[in-house]
Structure 1
Amino acid sequence: MKQLNSRQQALLSMLADGGFHSGEQIGIALGISRAAISQQIKSLRQLGLEIFSITGKGYRLDTPLQPLNAEIIRSHLHGAPVHTCAVIGSTNQYMMAQLDRWQKGECLLAETQTAGRGRRGRQWHSPFGSQFIMSMYWRLDDGPSAAMGLSLAIGVAVVRALEAQGYQGLSLKWPNDIYMARRKLAGILVEMSAAVGGLCHLVIGVGINLNLPDDVIARLDQPCAHLAEQTAAIDRNKLSAAIIHALRETLALFEQQGLSAFLTEWNRLDMFMQQPVKVLLGDQIIHGTYCGIDGQGNMLLQDGNGIRKFVGGEISLRADS
């Protein structure tokens, strides 16, 4: 895990507005020489930030950026600590490696991660400052069976938080993806460590596209969406606090009532309800009509053999076209 040093933070704060800042302005503000400015610019570029340099104008970011600020995020919340960092391999892996350290609801947010993972180990692309990247620790006293369907409840919570911020056209794709305008917006990765009948440690990772550069979108292997399509100015810190608050409330309710408290909302948001789909199970392709989920969060598919149940993690679900 890496934090920006004080000069990098100050320089990034200056450039965050997306406007040009001359070398003279930066040198005075940071108290450094022109040569030192070049080194600091280079260090930010190495993090993946696109910084333009034009003679006579100075430096500017390709896209305006609002850096994460843990103090601002915490000011909208109460309870467990919230941490931020600039660069990390994976927020989930970092928290999973030291499970005894965390309080319930404690969070870690990152500007970028270099080894982010989606479902089934897929790479999660994360340009610096362009996504909401967060992991939260939770634990369940009743063991791993109590976590059945948790990722679905988390999906509902994230959509609720985004809808409350004014975002529209959101839907859920079983078991752990969030879509906007039928393109992938966000993913959820829940990891656990537990003994049968014992305490269940959970790390809940959420990644949401905020404002992806065009070249990143072009490299992705599926159509994706980002929140900037609906609003030009995203208050990352306010949005982060809203999502964290929604997740903490959801997890507390899930502990009491399980997935049943979220089934109605899931059905409202389910992208494929009563639509033809195909299920990819290894080399096998199964066609049928998607019938939603059961009380344990399993996917239900109707085909020539009746209604069949599929467990999350073993299959991929796609539109049948």
Structure 2
Amino acid sequence: MKEHAVKLAILDTLADGYFHSGEELGEQLNISRAAVSKHVKGIQEWGVDIFSVPGKGYKLAGSMQLLNQQRLQSEVSVPVELIPVIGSTNQHLMDRIGLLQSGSVCIAEYQSQGRGRRGREWVSPFGCNLYLSMYWRLEAGMAGAMGLSLVVGVAIVEALEKLGIEGIKLKWPNDLYYRDKKLAGILVEMSGQAGAAAHLVIGMGMNLKMATNTQGITQPWSCLADAVEHDIDRNQLAITLINSLKTALSEYEITGMQGFVERWNRLDNYLGREIRLIMGEREVIGISSGINEQGAVLINTDNGLETYIGGEISLRGI
């Protein structure tokens, strides 16, 4: 954290969206203009769009609202740790499982080693998205965690609906979509032993206002800004998501998947559409028919209604 203090202080000043000279920034931080320039280059490596104009100074391409630890903690009932620059919020919690209270949250502005499902990289530029992980102790054990990513997806979309954001859909088993493009991903990692409680770390990365020229993303993607006409309050969004996740996970411990099937099917991006399910070399083609109480995807094929618990879904022909 200390090693990034100067960069974060520069960003805090630039977050208002106005020009600030290198001299002004240097005086504020008691560093040289050359040092300011060096730190600005480091910030740009985080994916932040900063430009400079001779005689005016440095300016963000757009205003930036930074996350606020005090506000976050004051409006949720679980411990929240804001680490602006981190390797991975999921890994941070995984490394501290024995020390955490159930429901503990880690949230970041930037991840240098963000990851998605199957070990894929999750591109995580600074300050324009939301990277959040929650630890949950599931007394039902690892077997009881089947379909948990579906529950998390429902909780996230319902949280967005509470904020008046409509049109967000779910893609089985762990993605959020807007207009057939990926908006957010969910990664559930777990540890534990048979007969004992499961230790779950539930991670979510959501695109909020990401630059269209962001590099490293290999599939069509969308941003929450595409779905709303106003600026997104990142702190309020995080607060609403955390509270919704905590409520949904508590409900899941009581009802299991049974309490979430209808809620998930209401939000299914592909319900009633022709899809293909890819499992290694095998493909299944049919009409998407939602999920069942085990969290399996239902596909109406030429052989009738079939259920699958693994694989990757896409629209047929894409």
- TM-score normalised by the chain length of structure 2: 0.94
- The amino acid that maps onto 1:320 is R
Q: What secondary structure is seen at the aligned counterpart in 1 of 2:72?
A: helix
Q: What secondary structure is seen at the aligned counterpart in 1 of 2:84?
A: strand
In the TM superposition, what is the alpha-carbon distance from 1:102 to its structure 2 partner?
A: 0.9
| Residue aligning to 2:11 | 12
In the TM superposition, what is the alpha-carbon distance from 1:88 to its structure 2 partner?
A: 1.8
Q: What secondary structure is seen at the aligned counterpart in 2 of 1:103?
A: coil
| Residue aligning to 2:181 | 183
In the TM superposition, what is the alpha-carbon distance from 1:26 to its structure 2 partner?
A: 2.2
| Residue aligning to 1:319 | 315
In the TM superposition, what is the alpha-carbon distance from 1:154 to its structure 2 partner?
A: 0.6
| Residue aligning to 1:268 | 266
| Residue aligning to 2:162 | 164
Are 2:223 and 1:226 equivalent residues in the alignment? yes
| Residue aligning to 2:92 | 94
| Residue aligning to 1:24 | 23
Alignment equivalent of 1:103, drawn from 101, 126, 147: 101
- The amino acid that maps onto 2:22 is G
Contact 2:88–2:111 (CA under 8 A) maintained in structure 1: yes
CA offset digits 1:220-261 (Å, max 9, x no partner): 222111012224422111111110010011111111111111
Contact 1:260–1:295 (CA under 8 A) maintained in structure 2: yes
Distance 2:47 2:281 in 1: 37
In the TM superposition, what is the alpha-carbon distance from 1:294 to its structure 2 partner?
A: 0.8
Distance 1:195 1:109 in 2: 27
Contact 1:157–1:247 (CA under 8 A) maintained in structure 2: yes
Distance 1:272 1:38 in 2: 48
Distance 2:315 2:57 in 1: 49
In the TM superposition, what is the alpha-carbon distance from 1:270 to its structure 2 partner?
A: 0.7
Give the unaligned 5+ runs of structure 2: none
- TM-score normalised by the chain length of structure 1: 0.93
* Residues 154-163 or 140-149, more deviating: 140-149
Contact 1:52–1:60 (CA under 8 A) maintained in structure 2: yes
- The amino acid that maps onto 2:168 is L
Q: What secondary structure is seen at the aligned counterpart in 2 of 1:48?
A: coil
| Number of aligned residues | 316
Distance 2:62 2:105 in 1: 27
CA shift in 2, pair 1:160/1:143, >3 Å:
same
Alignment equivalent of 2:201, drawn from 203, 219, 240: 203
CA shift in 2, pair 1:3/1:190, >3 Å:
farther
Contact 2:123–2:216 (CA under 8 A) maintained in structure 1: no
In the TM superposition, what is the alpha-carbon distance from 1:146 to its structure 2 partner?
A: 1.4
Q: What secondary structure is seen at the aligned counterpart in 1 of 2:173?
A: coil
Distance 1:104 1:248 in 2: 9
CA shift in 2, pair 1:269/1:138, >3 Å:
same
Give the unaligned 5+ runs of structure 1: none
- The amino acid that maps onto 1:177 is D
- The amino acid that maps onto 2:75 is H
Contact 1:3–1:85 (CA under 8 A) maintained in structure 2: no
CA offset digits 1:23-58 (Å, max 9, x no partner): 333234334432332233233234332221110111
| Residue aligning to 2:253 | 255
CA offset digits 1:161-218 (Å, max 9, x no partner): 11111212111111111111221101111111021121100000011101111111x7
Distance 2:190 2:216 in 1: 31
Contact 1:3–1:87 (CA under 8 A) maintained in structure 2: no
Distance 1:5 1:178 in 2: 32
| Residue aligning to 1:291 | 289
* Residues 239-248 or 283-292, more deviating: 283-292
Percent of pairs with identical residues: 43
Distance 2:172 2:114 in 1: 21
Contact 2:90–2:203 (CA under 8 A) maintained in structure 1: yes
* Residues 105-114 or 17-26, more deviating: 17-26
| Residue aligning to 2:128 | 130
Distance 2:313 2:287 in 1: 11
- The amino acid that maps onto 2:118 is R
Distance 1:213 1:56 in 2: 26
